Chain A
Amino acid sequence: MGQLSSAAPASGTPGAPLAPGRVRALQRVGVLCGIAAGAWLGAAEVPTKLVTTGISPVLISFLMVAGVFLGRWSLPAIMRGTSGIRADIAEAPHLVIWAIIAGCLWSVANTLTIFAIRDLGLSVAFPLWNTNAIIGIVWGVLFFRELHHAGWRRWSAVCGGALVMFLGGMLLARASSSQIASHVASRGLAAALGAGVLWGTMYIPYRKAYLSGMNPLSFVSFFTIGELGMMTALALAYMGGPRSLYRQVTGAENVLFWLLAAGFVWVIGDIFQQYAVKYVGVSRGIPISNSNQLWGLLWGAVAFGEFRGWQHGAVAGAVWGSLLMALGLAAISFSVADNSEYLKWMEAAERERRRYGIDIEFVRSGMEGRASIPQQRRTWLDWLLVAVATGAFVWTGARAHWPAIALNGTSAIVLLLLCLLLLAACVAALWKVTRFN
């Protein structure tokens, strides 16, 4: 019986470890995906500022998840096709359960963050829920043999980097909180930290899926069923039933587009985060993608002018906090796993393969970023999904009005261009190295 811990290279020679060059290439792609994830996840938080215009947090979360649902089916349909998704799931059907649990965790966490934003403000709540990286590292080490055989240098770089990023985040929070009028409510604090625990735990299903060889594009398609199902249940429970929910959705017609778009932008960031987790693990991928806090601060400071009227000390605190976060990000990014650590990942993958009886070639090719299933042709269902998503955005876009929030257009365009640049770089790298596997 084949053992993944003595993984074969692309050529399929049993017993030979994965070529070091291939390991490095996959790690580089993973780090780049983590950085792009940070930019896009940060941009997706911007429309949550609508909570300040009086829209219910649950309604915002529900509409974002509706946008996420559209994105999570239409983007994979374009990039991979539903036939490819079906073929992947047939190889590891048990992962549907984990995808749905992960989706439920995401929905509850996302709703908690909106309550946290309402009570604490975006800049204070953000670093608190970014503790998810610490939770993710703990689960990664405990359950998936991450950082085993990594050596003290890599341990220090990853854990020290995550700690420095957390301290930087706290500094940003302190700088921000000194400038906002509202007091720190205990419920907001609990909501933000609770969201961190939920999101940190959500990485257990992520890592499990990728150690089993699953394609991220296939995993997110089922993830979103749990997401939309849980969010719909929450919206119905907290908003007084279907009639009340419908009334509030139609009442928010002017901002529907922005919230759906936020969900769509989140999907792009999340797909990159999934690839980051797949190729550099939870312990590296999540801290890197948590640089979304830096991007959130950038959007707040330059596009929404949140620094206007701040005292010099507070601005300096924000700058130092940002520098600390960037330093932590760099430490983790340069701490790539070597072959001995990679073999420990393979051992964790072997556990999954044996427990669930997954085909060895499926697991191996997934871990190596190769396709085990031939590229499938697009079907009418793929084009239907793309048409429905496009129709929803066009329909809501035609009715959208810019909410009563001041925005510096030039800064917003520059930030969007930076996001698009990272998107293009990531897509090119993923295509070149993994063909989106």
Chain B
Amino acid sequence: MDNEEAIDRPETQAINWLASVTGDVHFWVPTVVLIGGLLLLRWVS
């Protein structure tokens, strides 16, 4: 079975989506910006 087919299987999706989230650069960019924002808020307040 190739990787493409494995991704399409529902059970594989259910197990892997959390790993997919943490391995996605789209997750880390907002997270880092959020932490920066909290530090900035601490400074301005």
Contact assessment for B17 and A357 in the assembled complex, using a CB-CB cutoff below 8 Å: yes
Contacts of B18 in A (CB 8 A): 94
Q: For this complex, into which size category does the number of interface residues on chain A fall?
A: 35 or more
A327 contacts chain B at the CB level, 8 A cutoff: no
> Is A147 an interface residue when CB atoms closer than 8 A count as contact?
no
Q: A115-B44, A357-B12 are in contact. Are A94 and B20 (CB under 8 A)?
A: yes
Chain B residues within 8 Å of A111, by CB: 41
What is the interface size of chain B, counting residues whose CB is below 8 A from a CB of the partner? 29
Total number of A-B contacts with CB less than 8 angstroms?
89
B30 touches A105 (CB 8 A): yes
Pick from B29, B33, B34, B44: contact of A191, CB below 8 A. B44
Does A108 lie within 8 Å of B30, measured CB to CB? no
B7 CB, min distance to chain A CBs, angstroms: 6
Query: Which residue in B16, B17, B20, B38 is a CB contact (below 8 Å) of A108?
Result: B38
Residue pair A234, B29 in contact (C-beta under 8 Å): no
Contact partner, B40, options A93, A194, A238, Cβ 8 Å: A194
Q: Nearest Cβ distance between residue A132 and chain B, in whole angstroms? A: 11
Q: Are A108 and B41 in contact (CB under 8 A)?
A: yes
User: In the assembled complex, which residues on chain B have CB atoms less than 8 Å from the CB atom of A334?
Assistant: none
Is A190 at the interface (CB under 8 A from chain B)? yes
Residues of chain B contacted by A356 (CB below 8 angstroms): 13, 17, 20
Alpha-carbon distance between A58 and B20 when the two chains are bound, in angstroms: 35
Q: Which residues of A contact B33 (CB under 8 A)?
A: 105, 197-198, 201
CB of B32, distance to nearest CB on chain A (Å): 9
Mark B1-42 against chain A: 1 for CB-CB distance below 8 A, else 0: 000100111101100111011001111011101101110110
What's the nearest-Cβ distance from chain A to residue B39, in Å?
A: 9
Known contacts A58-B45, A111-B41; is-contact A354 B7 (Cβ 8 Å): yes
A355 within 8 A of B: yes
Measured CB to CB, the residues of A under 8 A from B are 1, 57-58, 93-94, 97-98, 101-102, 104-105, 108-109, 111-112, 115, 139, 143, 187-188, 190-191, 194, 197-198, 201-202, 204-205, 208, 234, 238, 354-357
9 closest cross-chain pairs (CB), A and B: A357-B13, A108-B37, A201-B33, A194-B40, A191-B44, A198-B37, A94-B17, A187-B44, A115-B44
Jot down 8 A-B pairs with beta carbons below 8 A, ordered by A.
A98-B30, A115-B44, A143-B25, A191-B44, A197-B36, A198-B34, A354-B7, A357-B13
